[in-house]
């Protein structure tokens, strides 16, 4: 069977071709579904999924803890993924077939004021995101608009590339905070986002790069990725007011306030964690008297995706060592239970269709 697109754009998959997908019907209830291989529509591509990461947002979808405005049941989760273009719909270049790729999750409209200024993660055209409101990559195939693809080199490691979505979020934070050589930098949280942040920030030649996390094992991992120091939250109290830049990645109830306390007067703080309403505990007087600049990051605009892919391609960013567990689709329930379970030995968990 040829892997070139047939007339009309799609690659023929055979009359009996089927694919599997994990469907979360409602919180706590999932099933593995087998059905026809999806056909890409105009402007779309079908990607054969190589690997898909499970993050806390997916766990929140499964547990029913995600804001109802940002999920639509039933849903096939999976917004962190990599794969190979298998078919294209009408209007998409057939040369994409066979290319390794990742893709942006936000289905930004591309025409609103925010999109036209490059802030695609702030699109005002309505929230749509792969894996939350439209089918994601916990499946054999995922269909996405071709305009959202970020192509990879032919020899790219697709297992590691599945982490380029969280890497793009970290890239958005780094681009926002504009680190300069010789600065003192702290990263609060040593999960996937935190360790990816350490890699990107280490490349900016900081004078100090300290990671704050209660888990000694994660602190040790951060040192391997380029951190110069690691501290527990208790130990970090001695460093309040020390850092030019603080990047918060944990989203825990105390970490936003802790990040602000670590910043020097006139310093910068970037928050990437997803916080429950009212959970940050930031003292407004500290912001005013300390003249702190605080930025929030939600997702990643197109430019941050391009930044992350360049860092990955050049070798500055190496997400592979963060992966600790890999499961087939059939073991989704076991895999999602590991995420957020508190085991310091659990890093990034992948599904491998």
Cβ-proximal residues to 4 (8 Å cutoff; 6+ apart), any chain? 11, 94, 97
Positions of the chain with pLDDT under 50: 1-9, 11-12
> Can you tell me the distance from the alpha carbon of 226 to that of 232, in angstroms, rounded to the nearest whole number?
17
Burial class (CB in 10 A: 0-12, 13-18, 19+), 192: buried
Identify the pLDDT of residue 4: 36
> Can you tell me the distance from the alpha carbon of 62 to that of 49, in angstroms, rounded to the nearest whole number?
21
CA nearest 47: which of 181, 137, 163?
A: 137
Q: Which pTM was predicted?
A: 0.91
Domains located in the chain, CATH noted: 18-163+319-351 (3.90.180.10), 171-296 (3.40.50.720)
Task: Give 187-197 pLDDT, tens digit per residue.
Answer: 999 999 999 99
> Can you tell me the distance from the alpha carbon of 183 to that of 245, in angstroms, rounded to the nearest whole number?
8
Identify the pLDDT of residue 62: 97
Burial class (CB in 10 A: 0-12, 13-18, 19+), 82: buried
Task: Give 257-286 pLDDT, tens digit per residue.
Answer: 999 999 999 999 999 987 777 777 888 999
Q: How far is CA 310 from CA 70, 152, 167, 268, in A?
A: 29, 9, 11, 25
């Amino acid at each position: 069977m040829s892997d070139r697109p047939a007339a009309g754009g799609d690659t023929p998959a055979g009359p009996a071709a089927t694919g599997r997908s994990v469907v979360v019907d409602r919180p706590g209830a999932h099933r593995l579904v087998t059905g026809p291989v999806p056909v890409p529509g105009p402007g779309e591509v079908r990607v054969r999924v190589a690997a898909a990461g499970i993050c806390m947002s997916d766990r929140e979808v499964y547990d029913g803890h995600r804001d109802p405005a940002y999920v639509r049941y039933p849903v096939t989760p999976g917004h962190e993924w990599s794969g190979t273009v298998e078919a294209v719909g009408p209007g998409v270049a057939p040369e994409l077939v066979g290319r390794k790729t990742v893709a942006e999750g936000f289905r930004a409209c591309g025409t609103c004021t925010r999109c036209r200024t490059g802030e695609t993660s702030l699109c005002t055209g309505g929230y749509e995101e792969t894996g939350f409101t439209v089918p994601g990559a916990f499946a054999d195939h995922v269909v996405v608009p071709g305009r959202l693809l970020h192509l990879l080199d032919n020899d790219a490691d697709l297992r590691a590339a599945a982490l380029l979505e969280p890497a793009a979020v970290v890239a958005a934070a780094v681009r926002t905070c504009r680190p300069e050589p010789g600065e003192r930098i702290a990263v609060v949280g040593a999960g996937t986002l935190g360790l990816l942040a350490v890699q990107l920030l280490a490349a900016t030649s900081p004078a100090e790069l300290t990671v704050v996390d209660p888990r000694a094992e994660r602190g040790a991992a951060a040192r391997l990725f380029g951190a110069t120091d690691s501290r527990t939250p208790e130990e970090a109290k001695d460093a309040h007011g020390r850092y030019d830049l603080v990047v918060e990645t944990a989203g825990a109830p105390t970490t936003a306030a802790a990040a602000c306390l670590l910043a020097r007067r006139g310093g910068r703080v970037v928050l990437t964690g997803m916080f429950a309403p009212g959970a940050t505990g930031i003292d407004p007087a500290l912001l005013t008297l300390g003249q702190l600049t605080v930025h929030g990051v939600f997702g990643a605009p197109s430019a941050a995706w391009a930044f992350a892919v360049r860092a990955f391609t050049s070798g500055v960013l190496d997400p592979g060592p963060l992966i600790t567990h890999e499961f087939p689709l059939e073991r989704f329930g076991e895999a999602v239970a590991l995420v957020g379970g508190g085991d310091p030995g659990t890093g990034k968990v992948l599904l491998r269709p």
